[in-house]
Each structure stands twice: as C-alpha cells, then as structure tokens.
Amino acid sequence: MQGGEDVVVWIPPPRPTHLVPQEIPLDLLHEDADILIVNKPTGLTVHPGAGQPDGTLANALAWHLRGLPELGGSDRPGIVHRLDKATSGVMVIARTEAAQRTLSQAFAERAVAKTYLACVHGRPSDERGDIDAAIGRAPQHRTKMAIRREGGRDAFTAWRIERTLPRHTLVRCLPRTGRTHQIRVHLAHLGHPIVGDKTYGRPNAPGEEHAPRLLLHAWRIGFRHPGTGESVSFEAPLPQDFQAALGALAALEPPRRRR
C-alpha cells in the first residue's frame, strides 16, 4: 500500500452452531485475562463431533464463560489443542482472539512443551529413547491410527522410564508432534502398549483388571504466555483413579523367570 487508500474489511458472522451451554464441572488450575488452564478428566470429549453432540468440554466452557473466541469454529470456543476422550490432564484455553492466534501458532510451530505420564505393559530394555515413526489412518480400520511408512504424517515422541513396577512401567513421554493417538500408537509400536487401552492395548494381559481407565495423563504443559511473553508451565496432578491403579499394579507378583 502507498497511503491514501480506502480499506474495507468484511468480518463474517460466526458459523452457526448447535453448541448448547451445559453446567458441567470444570477443574480450573489457573485463570487470567488471556488464558485458562483446565484439568480435563478422563471420559470427557473436548468438542462435539460425530456421535457426541453435547456433554463436551466445549459445552462446559460455553456455560462457565461468555465471549470466548471462536476462531476455530463456534463449536470450539477458545480451544487450541485437544486430548483424547480417554486421556486426562492439563489443557490451555484461549480467552481472547489474540491469545488464540498466538497459541495456535505456537502449537503449529511445535513451540509448546508437553509432558505425559503413561503406565505401560512390561519394561522397555532401555532407560530412554526416541520413537520417530509416521502415523496415519489404519487401512483396514478407519477409526484407528497406525504406523504408516507411506502416506503417514511425521510423528516423534521422546520417552524415559519414570518408575518401574513388577510387571509394568511408568513412562514419561514428550511428544514433539501432536498426531491423533500418537503416544498410544507409538508405545504400542515400541512393544509396550498403555494399560487400559482398549484400542491398541492388551485387553487380557495381567494388570488390565486394575485399570478402570486409560492410564495416560497429560501431566505438564509449557509455553510462552500470549499476554506477557514469559515462559510459563502448568501441571495437573495424577488423578486418584490413576494413582489407585498404580498402587494395585505395584502389588502384583513379578513374572516368573523361565529356566
């Protein structure tokens, strides 16, 4: 532009939505003018979708807070990332359009540090490692994800052992990408699926009877605050049902060694 021009900006109205505000309890870990930090429970879907028209985190946000930005669609107010329904843990919600743009860009540029805790079957042979394996839709099961050397999207997860149990291992996972079911697929690919995983796990393996849920928890998230620019980090403590499952698994007898 050279100066002197007239600029006309047309802002389209929000896309129509059937999102109904619902009084669903929220566990807020932090709140300020720019962001909310929510501890999402297992079993709560993040936003409406096929087969889940309501009863989601988005419905709860619409009830508890008015005026959240709708840049991702009016059925996803303030939401800049997601967790699987079965996964619990920390999530960041944008309270303003500026915060939503900044956070969305940070996630796209992989500038958000995410740390998960997962309890897996068996014990990895190494203390730590990296899983660099592309993920895409499973050819025969379109609702599942799988390692796809051709046609998959790049996916990277670093991991290390946090605690060893008689038959299981608590693993700390640091995904650099955010593919659907990434940690679940990667750990199963490693040969150590997550306890309680009905899709990628071992449903009849020892210890499954002590897992009332998927033992995967988004424990910590770190990023630059969209309002202040400072580096911030937030944690969601392990839920009681996760801790109880760990206690039960810790009491199991170790497997017998083959002679």
For 91, other C-beta atoms within 10 Å of its C-beta total 22
**β-pairing, 216-224 with 168-175?**
unpaired
> Which residue is it, tokens 């999530």?
91
Phi, psi of 168 (to 5 degrees): -140, 175
Active site residues: 84
